[in-house]
Structure 1
């Protein structure tokens, strides 16, 4: 990493932020994480605690309720939570405002900011983002949930699937169709979950991210004020595409942090675990597997950090953010597999941290755009 990139990550402020995050995770997360996994959600008070410490709004301007900083600060927080023993599932639950509020903040709409973004950044409300529908996953341009203008209101009908924080959310930033077919007809509207006609159809049971509640949502003639529209009608697709890059970098950093955490746990394990009278770490086949994994993880970390710095400085980076996500997910998949394998029977037990990471890692190649969609973006950007 160049000196400039290194300086972007290794500053006094970011070291202090990492220390704060580590203390938060150790004190407020680790003692109860297993319970939250069994319960299928994290408590609302955790949002308030994280907000009080300035963690929820670390990449959002103070003028809208955040604590300042930029995306690098938030990425450092996410990375440190996992390195301290937290999980990507915990991050999904605690930071769902990170995909629900950026569109609101970017719009500059003071009314929406005051009613939804600011309370979410202060830990007083929980936000969710609803894009995916039962009939399609990553095909955002073909959303079928409709919002029809009726005087000073929009009337929304349709359903959404796989919505993070959907069962706990106070508001849902919802992708709807306000115009004709295709991407030009997509808009974003904020829907308070207390609105008549809005229901959580069912709570979904998942392979991983067990402490992150996920839901199917149903909109039956849901009437919301027209001022809940984010930006202009028809601008939703562009808003979604713009914010997707940040979400993909977040998932990339969670992937490499998970890989690094599993490497650290596995290295400690093979040093202490004895088979046939000597530690696993003395066996060449084990040592070389860990050496190769350490090399892959370090390379993925360097690439993710380089892309993140250049994205914050210059914007754009559509192909590189897709590459960073796919590469990080691939390395993470390798790391969690090796961790469980080298832990042996213990690696398959719920009492083992690597078991949780193995399950949680699987969603990283799906959320924020699947690996296949990332490859399509890369192909387009390189001229194929």
Structure 2
């Protein structure tokens, strides 16, 4: 083997090792001048971020293609597997989604459950038809009323009054259920949750039934924070109360956290616009937000190993590096550079 070939093979091995962590490979010595830097092109983190960008821009097929490349390089990246399962479901690629979930159950069972929660939560949310009539729900359940921006003086806007009024009506049907009022975003020193609690108490609801979540500034945070409060109390089932234009997105976000939306109630605002269930194509936006509610990272840091990797065990990193090295060598001069092998 000539010196040039040895340099090229060493360069490929260096790139393969670097690709595992997405580490950019700098310039090689003068004898390796024909070798081009390709670590960025095979950086799993960069491909993961590319996929997330494509999902955010509505290019689901392109996002899945980028994820597949990332998983070829880092097959134990559990975040990428979770996204593959979730977005393959969007494209109705059941075999791809199920294969990703099966792999994920081995590597990270908890994240596999989270991915299934996102998939089922979006499917459930898509079928919700807004309804203004409270209905009885059996079992241990909580009523969750979502906040709405306060006026500058800290007073509730009319739509927030509508939401909390609907929550009170539901509480009169499910009399044992606690009521969670959720929303931060203080105005004039008053949070949405505090304003709703005050209204409920003034309108005859026992203060002991009311739980406040007053730190969130978004529906995603509403879901994440409320799920922690209810999980601590051993409650998983909720009746979600909000506006017709918000109920499906809210249900998907709460479902992604592991809560089960077993009932919904909405205000009457613009009700007629939302009486048709969503098609699969129309769920892209709520699916994207649900992945955020599930705490699946929006980005991975270039140059770092993927998060949530399992204990590698004997040979795993070697196997991964070998896959990258083989791809680079198989690519020939386009990846390694030209030179006389002799």
User: TM (normalized to structure 1)?
Assistant: 0.24
* Structure with the larger RCO, 1 or 2 (CA within 8 Å, 6+ apart): 2
Between structure 1 and structure 2, the one with the greater Rg is 2
User: TM (normalized to structure 2)?
Assistant: 0.27
